[in-house]
Amino acid sequence: MVERPTSLAHHVIISAATTGSWPTKAQNPALPVTEEEIATAALGCRAAGAAIVHIHVRDDQGQVTCDPSRYARIRELVKATGSDVILNMSTGGGAGQTTDEERMAPVALGPEIASFDCGSVNFGDRVFINSPTFLRDLATRMTRHGVRPEIECFEAGHVQNALRLIEDGLLSPPFWFQFVLGVRGGAPATVKQLLHLVEMLPDGAQWSVCGIGRGQLPMGVAAVAMGGHVRTGLEDNLYYRKGELARSNEQLVARIVRIAEEAGRPVATPAEARLLLGLPPRS
């Protein structure tokens, strides 16, 4: 069993998912889509309290792409400022828009964390396919490049897939799970679902949750209360409250920071998050 360092037992890791594959500037003009905008958002979210920034990249038309050079550019821009923020590169691509091979390409950059979507699911009107072959291949490549998988689970079957990959030695501890709840096709964003998923986890696993749309805030509050970690950001929800668009990713991060602090949960710095997740200290 992996124990959390005692002094960090109550810390909460906040991840900011700034962009995603599908949201558009037409839906919320604050959405960062160029490499410069995404790097600026990452730094802003770090300043607001996020330890991890989960990024996607877009092409010049604002459409989803997995182009590793764009990921590398964002990392370069962030690193050039001396920022210690942890970057989590998406391997999600766009359902049906990108090939498995394209999706795995950013792993070769050796990011500290990359997303690992641990099973297939209907996703709105699309189907998000993560076949067993793809998952085994992705896990192997992540191990080879020293990348920590963020094991994204959209429903309980995905946790079961993770347990099988762990049993087969393809995923190794310490484990970092992200529950993505409230996707149309996945498990709903309810406390009951969250509790069920958390109870399935291997001992010592760290977990975070993001709720989609109106599920974002309640899931964040639930995770703070339950001792989990929180993901927020415009990828998951474009609104601050019903009928009011969020002004920025930073605004959403700042709200969770206030809630965590009121609840007596210190917000983890990137260095503390690295300790909690067993990542090597920043070189």
Q: Which residues contact 40 (CB under 8 A, 6 or more apart)?
A: 32
Which CB atom, from 75 or from 265, has the smaller least distance to Zn ion?
75
> Pairing mode, if any, of strands 86-89 and 113-117?
parallel
Rounded CA gap, 250 and 77, in Å? 18
Length of the chain: 283
The residue number whose beta carbon is nearest to Zn ion equals: 90
Interface residue list for Zn ion (CB under 5 A): 90
> Pairing mode, if any, of strands 86-89 and 52-55?
parallel
Smallest gap from residue 233 Cβ to Zn ion (A)? 9
Smallest gap from residue 1 Cβ to Zn ion (A)? 29
Which CB atom, from 114 or from 139, has the smaller least distance to Zn ion?
114
Which CB atom, from 20 or from 270, has the smaller least distance to Zn ion?
20
Which CB atom, from 115 or from 248, has the smaller least distance to Zn ion?
115
Spell out the alpha helix ranges (H) of 119-278.
Answer: 132-144, 156-167, 191-199, 216-226, 249-262, 270-277
Which CB atom, from 90 or from 120, has the smaller least distance to Zn ion?
90
| 108, 143 contact by CB (below 8 A) | no
Smallest gap from residue 117 Cβ to Zn ion (A)? 9
Smallest gap from residue 211 Cβ to Zn ion (A)? 14
Smallest gap from residue 3 Cβ to Zn ion (A)? 29
Smallest gap from residue 26 Cβ to Zn ion (A)? 19
- Other C-beta atoms lying within 10 Å of the C-beta of residue 96: 11
Axis crossing angle, helix 35-48 with helix 68-80, rounded to the nearest 10: 50
Q: What sign does the CA torsion over 271, 257, 261, 228 have?
A: negative
Which CB atom, from 90 or from 98, has the smaller least distance to Zn ion?
90
- The two tokens of residue 181 are 């709840």
